[in-house]
Structure 1
Amino acid sequence: LLTSSPYKVTMKTKKFAFSDTGFMNIYDNLINLQVFSMGKVVLDMTVSLKDDEICTGKLCNTKHGFNQTFLTGAYPDTLIENVLQSKPIMGGKNLKKMTRGFIQKIITKNYVIKYKIWPGNVYFKDSKNHIIIKLRKLPK
Protein backbone atom coordinates (compact mmCIF):
# COMPACT_ATOMS: atom_id res chain seq x y z
CA LEU A 1 0.00 0.00 0.00
CA LEU A 2 1.50 3.31 -1.11
CA THR A 3 -1.24 5.65 0.16
CA SER A 4 -4.66 5.44 1.76
CA SER A 5 -6.71 8.63 1.96
CA PRO A 6 -10.30 9.52 2.87
CA TYR A 7 -12.31 11.42 0.23
CA LYS A 8 -15.68 13.00 -0.32
CA VAL A 9 -16.65 11.32 -3.60
CA THR A 10 -19.35 12.60 -5.93
CA MET A 11 -20.12 10.59 -9.06
CA LYS A 12 -22.93 10.92 -11.53
CA THR A 13 -22.91 8.62 -14.54
CA LYS A 14 -25.54 6.84 -16.61
CA LYS A 15 -25.44 3.90 -14.14
CA PHE A 16 -25.16 5.54 -10.70
CA ALA A 17 -25.25 8.78 -8.76
CA PHE A 18 -23.99 9.38 -5.23
CA SER A 19 -22.11 11.84 -3.06
CA ASP A 20 -20.62 10.11 -0.03
CA THR A 21 -17.41 9.48 1.90
CA GLY A 22 -14.91 6.89 0.79
CA PHE A 23 -11.31 5.75 0.79
CA MET A 24 -8.86 5.62 -2.06
CA ASN A 25 -6.07 3.10 -1.65
CA ILE A 26 -3.21 3.30 -4.13
CA TYR A 27 -0.90 0.31 -4.56
CA ASP A 28 1.96 -0.29 -7.00
CA ASN A 29 -0.28 -1.93 -9.60
CA LEU A 30 -3.83 -0.87 -8.72
CA ILE A 31 -6.15 1.75 -7.31
CA ASN A 32 -9.07 0.79 -5.10
CA LEU A 33 -11.86 3.29 -4.44
CA GLN A 34 -14.51 2.34 -1.88
CA VAL A 35 -17.44 4.65 -1.18
CA PHE A 36 -19.83 4.22 1.74
CA SER A 37 -23.34 5.47 2.42
CA MET A 38 -24.80 4.87 5.87
CA GLY A 39 -22.20 2.16 6.53
CA LYS A 40 -22.89 0.24 3.30
CA VAL A 41 -20.56 0.06 0.31
CA VAL A 42 -22.11 1.88 -2.67
CA LEU A 43 -19.01 1.59 -4.85
CA ASP A 44 -16.05 -0.78 -4.69
CA MET A 45 -13.95 -0.11 -7.78
CA THR A 46 -10.52 -1.55 -8.49
CA VAL A 47 -8.52 -0.21 -11.43
CA SER A 48 -5.50 -2.20 -12.57
CA LEU A 49 -2.54 0.00 -13.49
CA LYS A 50 -0.75 -2.79 -15.37
CA ASP A 51 -3.59 -4.77 -16.96
CA ASP A 52 -6.61 -3.77 -19.02
CA GLU A 53 -9.13 -4.35 -16.22
CA ILE A 54 -11.53 -2.43 -13.98
CA CYS A 55 -13.67 -4.25 -11.44
CA THR A 56 -16.77 -2.87 -9.75
CA GLY A 57 -17.77 -5.21 -6.96
CA LYS A 58 -17.42 -8.73 -8.37
CA LEU A 59 -17.95 -7.65 -12.01
CA CYS A 60 -14.75 -7.11 -13.99
CA ASN A 61 -14.46 -5.55 -17.41
CA THR A 62 -11.89 -4.20 -19.83
CA LYS A 63 -11.21 -0.50 -19.38
CA HIS A 64 -12.99 0.21 -22.66
CA GLY A 65 -15.91 -1.97 -21.53
CA PHE A 66 -16.08 -0.02 -18.26
CA ASN A 67 -16.17 3.25 -20.18
CA GLN A 68 -18.94 1.96 -22.46
CA THR A 69 -21.01 0.70 -19.52
CA PHE A 70 -20.54 3.50 -17.00
CA LEU A 71 -19.20 6.54 -18.89
CA THR A 72 -18.97 6.72 -22.69
CA GLY A 73 -17.07 4.53 -25.14
CA ALA A 74 -15.60 7.69 -26.71
CA TYR A 75 -13.21 8.13 -23.75
CA PRO A 76 -9.68 6.70 -23.89
CA ASP A 77 -9.23 3.51 -21.85
CA THR A 78 -6.93 5.25 -19.33
CA LEU A 79 -9.37 8.05 -18.44
CA ILE A 80 -10.62 6.83 -15.05
CA GLU A 81 -7.17 5.81 -13.78
CA ASN A 82 -5.78 9.23 -14.74
CA VAL A 83 -8.68 11.03 -13.04
CA LEU A 84 -8.25 8.97 -9.85
CA GLN A 85 -4.52 9.76 -9.83
CA SER A 86 -5.03 13.50 -10.60
CA LYS A 87 -3.04 13.12 -13.82
CA PRO A 88 -3.68 14.88 -17.13
CA ILE A 89 -6.18 13.10 -19.39
CA MET A 90 -6.10 12.46 -23.13
CA GLY A 91 -2.35 12.95 -23.46
CA GLY A 92 -2.47 16.36 -21.79
CA LYS A 93 -4.59 17.89 -24.56
CA ASN A 94 -5.35 21.62 -23.99
CA LEU A 95 -3.60 21.52 -20.60
CA LYS A 96 -3.17 24.88 -18.89
CA LYS A 97 -0.98 24.93 -15.79
CA MET A 98 -2.21 26.95 -12.84
CA THR A 99 -0.22 28.04 -9.79
CA ARG A 100 -1.24 24.89 -7.91
CA GLY A 101 -2.62 22.42 -10.43
CA PHE A 102 -3.97 22.46 -13.96
CA ILE A 103 -7.13 22.65 -16.05
CA GLN A 104 -8.12 20.96 -19.30
CA LYS A 105 -11.06 21.89 -21.52
CA ILE A 106 -11.61 19.37 -24.29
CA ILE A 107 -14.46 19.63 -26.78
CA THR A 108 -15.25 17.11 -29.52
CA LYS A 109 -18.45 15.88 -31.14
CA ASN A 110 -18.54 13.10 -28.50
CA TYR A 111 -17.88 15.04 -25.29
CA VAL A 112 -17.50 18.48 -23.69
CA ILE A 113 -15.06 18.06 -20.80
CA LYS A 114 -13.86 20.42 -18.10
CA TYR A 115 -11.21 18.76 -15.93
CA LYS A 116 -9.55 20.64 -13.11
CA ILE A 117 -6.94 19.53 -10.56
CA TRP A 118 -5.84 21.55 -7.53
CA PRO A 119 -4.39 20.38 -4.19
CA GLY A 120 -6.67 17.76 -2.65
CA ASN A 121 -9.34 18.16 -5.35
CA VAL A 122 -10.35 16.60 -8.65
CA TYR A 123 -13.20 17.95 -10.77
CA PHE A 124 -14.26 16.20 -13.99
CA LYS A 125 -17.41 17.20 -15.85
CA ASP A 126 -18.60 16.09 -19.25
CA SER A 127 -21.62 18.28 -19.92
CA LYS A 128 -22.53 16.49 -23.16
CA ASN A 129 -22.77 13.03 -21.52
CA HIS A 130 -23.95 14.27 -18.08
CA ILE A 131 -21.00 12.77 -16.21
CA ILE A 132 -19.52 14.29 -13.05
CA ILE A 133 -16.65 12.98 -10.94
CA LYS A 134 -15.55 15.05 -7.95
CA LEU A 135 -13.01 13.99 -5.35
CA ARG A 136 -12.17 16.11 -2.31
CA LYS A 137 -9.50 14.84 0.05
CA LEU A 138 -10.62 14.83 3.68
CA PRO A 139 -8.37 15.28 6.70
CA LYS A 140 -7.17 11.95 8.14
Structure 2
Amino acid sequence: MKKIFVFFLVLFFFNACTVKNQNYHSQSVSIIINSPFLKMRDFGFLKRQNQILILEVYRMGQAFFNLKIKDKICLNIACYDKQIFNKKFFKNEYYDDILSDILNAKPLWQGKNLQKTTCGFKQNLKTENFEIFYEVCQNKVSFLDKISHIKIVLAYQG
Protein backbone atom coordinates (compact mmCIF):
# COMPACT_ATOMS: atom_id res chain seq x y z
CA MET A 1 0.00 0.00 0.00
CA LYS A 2 2.83 2.36 0.88
CA LYS A 3 4.53 1.67 -2.48
CA ILE A 4 1.35 2.51 -4.38
CA PHE A 5 1.00 5.78 -2.47
CA VAL A 6 4.63 6.73 -3.21
CA PHE A 7 4.15 5.77 -6.87
CA PHE A 8 1.09 8.03 -7.22
CA LEU A 9 2.82 10.83 -5.34
CA VAL A 10 5.84 10.70 -7.68
CA LEU A 11 3.54 10.45 -10.70
CA PHE A 12 1.61 13.52 -9.50
CA PHE A 13 4.79 15.60 -9.14
CA PHE A 14 6.11 14.61 -12.57
CA ASN A 15 2.75 15.35 -14.12
CA ALA A 16 2.58 18.75 -12.42
CA CYS A 17 5.94 19.66 -13.91
CA THR A 18 4.80 18.81 -17.43
CA VAL A 19 1.66 20.94 -17.43
CA LYS A 20 2.28 24.09 -19.44
CA ASN A 21 0.37 27.30 -19.76
CA GLN A 22 -1.15 27.12 -23.24
CA ASN A 23 -1.55 30.91 -23.35
CA TYR A 24 2.19 31.58 -23.01
CA HIS A 25 4.50 32.55 -25.85
CA SER A 26 8.07 33.83 -25.67
CA GLN A 27 10.02 35.26 -28.58
CA SER A 28 13.55 36.63 -28.77
CA VAL A 29 13.82 40.12 -30.19
CA SER A 30 16.48 42.64 -31.08
CA ILE A 31 15.32 46.08 -30.00
CA ILE A 32 16.33 49.66 -30.67
CA ILE A 33 14.62 52.43 -28.73
CA ASN A 34 15.75 55.98 -29.21
CA SER A 35 13.74 58.61 -27.38
CA PRO A 36 14.39 61.57 -25.09
CA PHE A 37 13.27 59.28 -22.22
CA LEU A 38 15.22 56.11 -23.09
CA LYS A 39 18.03 55.00 -25.39
CA MET A 40 18.63 51.29 -25.86
CA ARG A 41 20.07 48.87 -28.42
CA ASP A 42 19.95 45.31 -27.09
CA PHE A 43 18.45 41.86 -27.29
CA GLY A 44 15.68 40.52 -25.13
CA PHE A 45 12.52 38.49 -24.93
CA LEU A 46 8.95 39.46 -25.66
CA LYS A 47 6.59 37.32 -23.63
CA ARG A 48 2.84 37.05 -24.05
CA GLN A 49 0.84 35.42 -21.30
CA ASN A 50 -2.95 35.68 -21.36
CA GLN A 51 -3.57 39.46 -21.52
CA ILE A 52 -0.10 40.45 -20.27
CA LEU A 53 2.77 41.56 -22.51
CA ILE A 54 6.30 41.61 -21.07
CA LEU A 55 9.48 42.87 -22.71
CA GLU A 56 12.65 41.86 -20.86
CA VAL A 57 16.10 43.03 -21.90
CA TYR A 58 19.25 41.50 -20.44
CA ARG A 59 22.82 42.62 -19.98
CA MET A 60 25.47 40.21 -18.73
CA GLY A 61 22.83 37.66 -17.82
CA GLN A 62 20.83 40.07 -15.68
CA ALA A 63 17.47 41.60 -16.58
CA PHE A 64 18.03 45.35 -16.48
CA PHE A 65 14.90 46.45 -18.36
CA ASN A 66 11.46 45.00 -17.70
CA LEU A 67 8.40 46.48 -19.38
CA LYS A 68 5.05 44.95 -18.44
CA ILE A 69 1.80 45.94 -20.10
CA LYS A 70 -1.58 44.95 -18.72
CA ASP A 71 -4.08 47.51 -17.44
CA LYS A 72 -1.10 49.75 -16.61
CA ILE A 73 2.42 49.98 -18.01
CA CYS A 74 5.17 49.07 -15.57
CA LEU A 75 8.79 49.92 -16.29
CA ASN A 76 11.00 47.95 -13.93
CA ILE A 77 9.19 48.66 -10.64
CA ALA A 78 7.40 51.92 -11.48
CA CYS A 79 3.86 51.62 -12.87
CA TYR A 80 1.98 54.27 -14.83
CA ASP A 81 -1.45 54.73 -16.31
CA LYS A 82 -1.13 54.20 -20.06
CA GLN A 83 -1.84 57.85 -20.93
CA ILE A 84 0.75 59.09 -18.44
CA PHE A 85 3.33 56.59 -19.73
CA ASN A 86 2.66 57.63 -23.33
CA LYS A 87 3.09 61.30 -22.48
CA LYS A 88 6.32 60.57 -20.59
CA PHE A 89 7.81 58.04 -23.02
CA PHE A 90 6.47 59.21 -26.38
CA LYS A 91 6.18 62.92 -25.45
CA ASN A 92 2.69 62.74 -26.92
CA GLU A 93 -0.84 61.73 -25.99
CA TYR A 94 -1.37 58.79 -28.30
CA TYR A 95 -4.14 56.28 -27.69
CA ASP A 96 -3.68 53.99 -24.67
CA ASP A 97 -2.58 50.78 -26.40
CA ILE A 98 -0.14 52.15 -28.98
CA LEU A 99 2.88 50.51 -27.34
CA SER A 100 1.10 47.12 -27.20
CA ASP A 101 0.19 47.49 -30.87
CA ILE A 102 3.81 48.26 -31.79
CA LEU A 103 5.19 45.31 -29.79
CA ASN A 104 2.54 43.01 -31.29
CA ALA A 105 3.16 44.34 -34.84
CA LYS A 106 -0.47 45.41 -35.19
CA PRO A 107 -1.76 48.37 -37.22
CA LEU A 108 -1.97 51.68 -35.37
CA TRP A 109 -5.16 53.71 -34.96
CA GLN A 110 -7.28 50.76 -36.12
CA GLY A 111 -5.52 50.67 -39.50
CA LYS A 112 -5.88 54.34 -40.47
CA ASN A 113 -3.96 55.07 -43.73
CA LEU A 114 -2.86 51.43 -43.91
CA GLN A 115 -1.12 50.42 -47.12
CA LYS A 116 -0.47 46.74 -47.81
CA THR A 117 3.03 45.90 -49.01
CA THR A 118 4.55 42.70 -50.38
CA CYS A 119 5.96 41.87 -46.94
CA GLY A 120 3.35 43.36 -44.59
CA PHE A 121 2.00 46.89 -44.30
CA LYS A 122 2.96 50.50 -43.65
CA GLN A 123 1.22 53.56 -42.30
CA ASN A 124 1.96 57.27 -42.62
CA LEU A 125 0.08 59.25 -39.99
CA LYS A 126 0.31 63.00 -39.65
CA THR A 127 -1.36 65.56 -37.37
CA GLU A 128 -0.13 68.78 -35.83
CA ASN A 129 1.21 66.75 -32.85
CA PHE A 130 2.89 63.86 -34.62
CA GLU A 131 4.29 62.66 -37.92
CA ILE A 132 4.56 58.88 -37.78
CA PHE A 133 6.02 56.40 -40.21
CA TYR A 134 5.18 52.86 -39.14
CA GLU A 135 6.07 49.70 -41.03
CA VAL A 136 5.68 45.99 -40.35
CA CYS A 137 7.63 43.88 -42.83
CA GLN A 138 8.06 40.16 -42.18
CA ASN A 139 9.77 39.96 -38.76
CA LYS A 140 10.67 43.64 -38.44
CA VAL A 141 8.68 46.53 -36.94
CA SER A 142 9.76 50.15 -37.42
CA PHE A 143 8.12 53.11 -35.70
CA LEU A 144 9.35 56.67 -36.21
CA ASP A 145 7.73 59.88 -34.98
CA LYS A 146 9.63 62.76 -36.58
CA ILE A 147 8.11 65.43 -34.34
CA SER A 148 8.73 63.71 -30.98
CA HIS A 149 12.04 62.16 -32.15
CA ILE A 150 10.97 58.65 -31.14
CA LYS A 151 12.36 55.61 -32.91
CA ILE A 152 11.51 52.00 -32.12
CA VAL A 153 12.82 49.11 -34.19
CA LEU A 154 12.07 45.50 -33.32
CA ALA A 155 13.45 42.50 -35.16
CA TYR A 156 11.79 39.27 -34.09
CA GLN A 157 13.96 36.17 -34.10
CA GLY A 158 12.31 32.88 -35.04
The verdict on a shared fold, with TM-score over 0.5 as the criterion, is yes
By relative contact order (CA 8 Å, sep 6+), the higher-ranking structure is 1
| Residue number among 66, 75, 83 corresponding to 1:64 in the alignment | 83
Q: Specify every segment of 5 or more residues in structure 2 that has no aligned partner in the other structure, as ranges.
A: 1-22
Deviation at 1:60, TM superposition (A): 0.5
Q: 1:69, CA displacement in angstroms?
A: 1.2
Distance 1:111 1:102 in 2: 20
Q: Kindly state the Cα deviation for residue 3 of structure 1 after the two structures are TM-superposed.
A: 1.3
Structure 1 or 2, whichever has the larger Rg, is 2
Number of residue pairs aligned between Structure 1 and Structure 2: 136
- After TM superposition, give the deviation of residue 74 of structure 1 in Å: 2.4
Identify the residue that residue 130 of structure 2 maps to in structure 1. Answer: 111
1:87 maps to 106
Report SS of the residue matched to 1:14.
coil
Deviates more, 1:36-45 or 1:122-131: 36-45
Structure 1 runs not aligned, ≥5 long:
none
What SS does the corresponding residue of 2:129 show, helix, strand or coil?
A: coil
Deviation digits for residues 90-115 of structure 1, max 9, x if unmatched?
Answer: 12111001122100000111111000
Q: CA deviation at 1:136?
A: 0.4
- Rounded Cα–Cα distance in structure 1 between residues aligned with 2:53 and 2:80: 15
Residue in structure 1 matched with residue 34 of structure 2 by the alignment: 12
Q: Does 1:23 align with 2:45?
A: yes
Match of 1:138 in 2: 157
Residues 92 and 129, structure 2, Cα contact 8 Å, conserved in 1: no
With the length of structure 2 as denominator, give the TM-score of the two structures. Answer: 0.81
What's the Cα RMSD here? 1.3
Shift of 1:38: 3.5
Q: Which has the higher strand share?
A: 1
Please identify which structure carries the higher helix content.
Answer: 2
Alpha-carbon separation, structure 1, partners of 2:122 and 2:83: 24
